[in-house]
Chains A and B, each alone.
Chain A
Amino acid sequence: MDADSLLLSLELASGSGQGLSPDRRASLLTSLMLVKRDYRYDRVLFWGRILGLVADYYIAQGLSEDQLAPRKTLYSLNCTEWSLLPPATEEMVAQLSVVKGRFMGDPSYEYEHTELQKVNEGEKVFEEEIVVQIKEETRLVSVIDQIDKAVAIIPRGALFKTPFGPTHVNRTFEGLSLSEAKKLSSYFHFREPVELKNKTLLEKADLDPSLDFMDSLEHDIPKGSWSIQMERGNALVVLRSLLWPGLTFYHAPRTKHYGYIYVGTGEKNMDLPFML
């Protein structure tokens, strides 16, 4: 959610139950302003909160002018002092797959994972147990990256692409209409498109190149991993991800207000197919 409209956004996203306490809210309002100034971001998003056993991580992201450029992620333990996180790499994500369980809440905590590795010594081949240590910070980075790639969404029309390349916020975005708001196809993943090129030519012909340049939610696997609900009659549409429980996206139709927030344990729900 945009740091500029933090209070309203929190109010709209409160249907999921987990929000922020007043002191965190107050500190966020001030500290995000300062972050924006110090790092010279175009937009600062409050990404959410990852619950740890000892402490919670509060995550914010900064965007530059080009909305689809890689975002800078910052974390804080007290909503006042923010530290920049390194960008996610492939190996980080690969490493992460072996770590399970809750986050500790301490960024320097190290997870230990024993691996069996084949070691060649001369002619003998035997397996050795190697203990791999993964720092929690790394895990944090990869989890945030995974969540962003998987479930960060924006409504169709909120961003538009210029012929020069960069994507901009669409200032004439007036919100989705009610009938559009209930369809999964009006929401896009907020990331570089992955599946667009797989569409048939016929489908591509219908797309508007300035608006439809990202993947829509329609073809997400597993099907049914999004729950769309209308709250307050038809005045608010809320999408909750079932794959990463805790991610809530809200949008008030016919208005410009939209955003997403993640409040959860930072673990993927691998049991989703059993639960549907």
Chain B
Amino acid sequence: MEDSTSPKQEKENQEELGEARRSWEGKTAASPQYSEPESSEPLEAKQGPETVRQSRSSRPWSPQSRARTPLGGPAGPETSAPAPLSLREPSSTPSPPAPARQDLAAPPQSHRTTSVIPEAGTPYPDPLEQSSDKRESIPLHTSQSERNTFQQSQQPKPHLCGPRDVSYNNAKQKELRFDVFQEADSNSDCDLQLPAPGGSEGAPSMLETTIQNAKAYLLKTSSKSGFNLYDHLSNMLTKILNERPENAVDIFENISQDVKMAHFSKKFDALHNENEMLPTYEIAEKQKALFLQGHLEGVDQELEDEIAENALPNVMESAFYFEQAGVGLGTDETYRIFLALKQLTDTHPIQRCRFWGKILGLEMNYIVAEVEFREGEDEEEVEEEDVAEERDNGESEADEDEEDELPKSFYKAPQAIPKEESRTGANKYVYFVCNEPGRPWVKLPPVIPAQIVIARKIKKFFTGRLDAPIISYPPFPGNESNYLRAQIARISAGTHVSPLGFYQFGEEEGEEEEEVEGGQNSFEENPDFEGIQVIDLVESLSNWVHHVQHILSQGRCNWFNSIQKNEEEEEEGEEEDEEKEEPDYIEQEVGPPLLTPISEDLEIQNIPPWTTRLSSNLIPQYAIAVLQSNLWPGAYAFSNGKKFENFYIGWGHKYSPDNYTPPVPPPVYQEYPSGPEITEMDDPSVEEEQAFRAAQEAVLLAAENEESEEDEDEEDDYD
């Protein structure tokens, strides 16, 4: 009988199930704890998603199978019929046996609300399901739901755990398990509820009470955090079963922490991440603009093609060669710099441009581009020279104003050495810097000799902000942008080299010995350059030459004679060392002329100034020659025989094996002619003063006496 009705019942039951499941799911959606069972079910069910539903729909099935077994089957549902009826709300009851089975199927909502559904229990539904293989991996939650559905007030029965384990895989014992479930359900019901209707079936045994107590303890909510251990453990186990980490027992505590944190993190997501990710998005936007700029200028393409022939260097090619040497910024970064350079050449009238290098700073870095403007284009001159001079002369001027009252100081500030004109000497190129590709390029001011001289004496890290002050002794005339420019000038002068013969002097120049200002500093590319063998470049340093003028200790490349009319007075105004101070002649500083081979460079305490390497020893036929400077660590040059390039990446300081010692302040200067006006004298002591006064009075008295005597004499005369 039951067999015949079972299909129909099954169908009904499934409908019920569906309804119940929906309602159940509705419940679970409410709390986050339930979400996991929902998600885990499809994952874990071994027989596919259907199995999961099967597990639920197996409820009707299991009664069916149980119905087949004559033993406890009918008795169970029969006896439990009255109880669930009273409690069950949503499902309808077509017939008494059916409802009995449907009991199992339709979890009464009231029960479910009160019962804690995600109970970490042993896998329950396996016995329910048909397969005889071990189903330990069944999601706990489905098992729980299974069990929950059975938690209709069934007969109380001893022992949740024992029979479950025992009869786990045995299909035959399904019915036994069914009993167990009934009893177990009633047990759990009893835990949570007021006296379950079906609880009167049997007196709870000791074991049962213990279990109930244990479960009650686990379900106790923590007063601090609002969690309870039961929920937490079930969440954790679900997570572990989902993710299946290796050696889970070793990272158990971390998983526990993660689960706890997961409860909180979701709420703050919207606010938190936005702030943090903003700079990333900003820079990404700026760099995207870099990439898009090519499309914007469609009209002027032809014009630009003419001019842009020489302007933009092939940065990627140089980067490739430098990478062979192990130097470089990474391909992506270099490409972005490439685009930034292109933007620079597009916005400024630039004749030639070169990626000079990168200088690291404390807070931000600098990307430096060396640029040569087109003829007559760069008329912007910063009025820095005047500022420097004013500082020097301010002192003497102030003194001169008060000439009448104060002694005149004969200190004359040393005349500031004027800076070199643009396009000559140290100011041959203009430099632009930016902090990151995508940010705007800033032009660095031209360099003044005083700045170079002082930059040689100090050693400071760059912060990355161009307006940062440089606090040092001797005080640096300028801020970080000037210091940066001075260091760039020094590095260029010291380390920019090219293969011999690549550059040659122009035709119209005289001999190299001529000391005409500006005579030596023009060179041009040699069109007949045939290249030098890489091996030669590596072996001998005389195959490389400097192509940037050396900076004299005066701070300029071209000598400036500061002696003008008053030769005697200009003596003090010199900053060079080892000077024969002849009033009418200052020895001219001479530096190595342009295009001297670097083999002439001085050693630093037995360390050669340059190190040469072949880029690769494994494949020498395609290797390139790499030069590293030991004087300026971070300066590299490469050549493959025909092409060459210079590059700098580093902190921007010179190397010295000895420690840096700051210069000592000069001795106090004799500013005023010594004389009684300014010579200090001690104040007279009291005795001296009194003696002096006494002496004066004596003199006065003597004078008066004489007068009075004369008067008396006169009076006598008249008598």
B674 CB–A CB distance under 8 Å: no
Contacts of A51 in B (CB 8 A): 628, 633
What's the nearest-Cβ distance from chain B to residue A177, in Å? 8
In the complex, how many angstroms separate the beta carbon of B636 from the nearest chain A beta carbon?
9
Apart from A18-B649, A101-B606: 13 A-B pairs, beta carbons within 8 A:
A11-B330, A17-B358, A17-B360, A19-B330, A230-B279, A233-B277, A233-B280, A234-B278, A265-B633, A270-B659, A275-B459, A275-B660, A276-B460
B595 shortest CB reach to chain A, Å: 26
Give the residues in chain A near B460, CB-CB below 8 Å: 274-276
Q: Report the bound CA distance from A9 to B282 in whole Å.
A: 25
Whether, in the assembled complex, B504 has its beta carbon less than 8 Å from a beta carbon of chain A, the answer is no
Asked if B362 is at the interface of the complex by the 8 Å CB criterion, the answer is yes
Are B258's CB and A172's CB within 8 A?
yes
- Chain B's interface size range is 35 or more
Main secondary structure of the interface of A (DSSP, over half): loop
A17 in contact with B327 (CB, 8 Å):
yes
With A15-B333, A23-B618, A275-B461 as given contacts, are A233 and B283 in contact (CB-CB < 8 Å)?
A: yes
Chain B interface, >50% SS class: loop
Which of B10-18, B57-65, B609-617 touches A? B609-617
Take A229-B365, A234-B277, A240-B360 as given contacts and tell me if A21 and B323 are in contact as well, using a CB distance cutoff of 8 Å.
Answer: yes
Q: How far is the CA of A242 from the CA of B634 in the complex (A)?
A: 15
Please indicate the chain B residues that have their CB under 8 angstroms from the CB of A177 in the complex.
276
The answer to whether B658 and A100 have CB atoms under 8 Å apart is yes
Near B by CB (< 8 A), chain A positions 220-246 give: 224, 227, 229-230, 232-235, 240, 242, 245
**Are A19 and B328 interface neighbours, CB within 8 A?**
yes
**C-alpha spacing A179/B328, complex, angstroms:** 30
Bound state CA distance, A15 and B649, in angstroms?
10
- B245 contacts partner chain A, Cβ-Cβ < 8 Å: yes
**Residue in B closest to A275 when the chains form the complex, CB atoms:** B461
What separation, in Å, do the CA atoms of A23 and B655 have in the docked complex? 29
B605 CB–A CB distance under 8 Å: yes
- What distance in Å separates the Cβ of A172 from its nearest Cβ neighbour in chain B? 4
- CB-CB under 8 A from A224, the residues of chain B are 362
Alpha-carbon gap, A54 to B354, bound state (A):
30
**A residues near B283, Cβ cutoff 8 Å:** 232-233
Q: How far is the CA of A53 from the CA of B607 in the complex (A)?
A: 8
- On whether the beta carbons of B276 and A178 are closer than 8 Å, the reply is yes
If A14-B333, A23-B618 touch, does A274 touch B660 (CB 8 Å cutoff)?
Answer: yes
B89-119 contact mask (Cβ, 8 Å, vs A): 1 or 0: 0000000000000000000000000000000
Question: Whole-angstrom distance between the alpha carbons of A227 and B462 in the complex?
Answer: 11
| Chain B residues, CB < 8 A from A178 | 276-277
Closest to A171 in B: B251
7 A-B contact pairs sorted by A residue (CB < 8 Å): A17-B329, A24-B326, A53-B611, A172-B255, A227-B363, A233-B284, A271-B659
User: Is there a chain B Cβ closer than 8 Å to A20's Cβ?
Assistant: yes
Residue pair A102, B651 in contact (C-beta under 8 Å): no
A54 partner residues in chain B, CB cutoff 8 A: 611
A15-B333, A17-B649 are known contacts. Are A232 and B323 too (CB-CB below 8 A)? no
Instruction: Decide: A227 and B362 in contact? CB cutoff 8 A.
Output: yes
> Which residues of A, 1-28, contact B by the 8 Å Cβ criterion?
11, 14-24
Please give the distance in Å from A234's CB to the nearest CB on chain B: 4
Residues of A within 8 A of B1 (CB): none
A133 contact set on B, CB distance < 8 A: none
Is A234 in contact with B630, judged by CB distance below 8 angstroms? no
Asked if B49 is an interface residue, CB under 8 A from chain A, the answer is no
Question: Of residues 666 to 684 in B, which have CB atoms within 8 Å of A's CB atoms?
Answer: none
A170 interface hit (Cβ, 8 Å): yes
Chain A residues with CB under 8 Å of B630's CB are 53, 102
Q: Is the CB of A21 within 8 A of B360?
A: no
A28 to chain B, nearest CB (A): 12
B608 at interface (Cβ–Cβ under 8 A)? yes
Taking the complex as formed, is A185 at the interface, i.e. its CB lies under 8 A from any CB of chain B? no
Most buried by B among A16, A101, A233: A233
4 closest residue pairs by CB, A with B: A233-B280, A17-B649, A14-B330, A178-B276
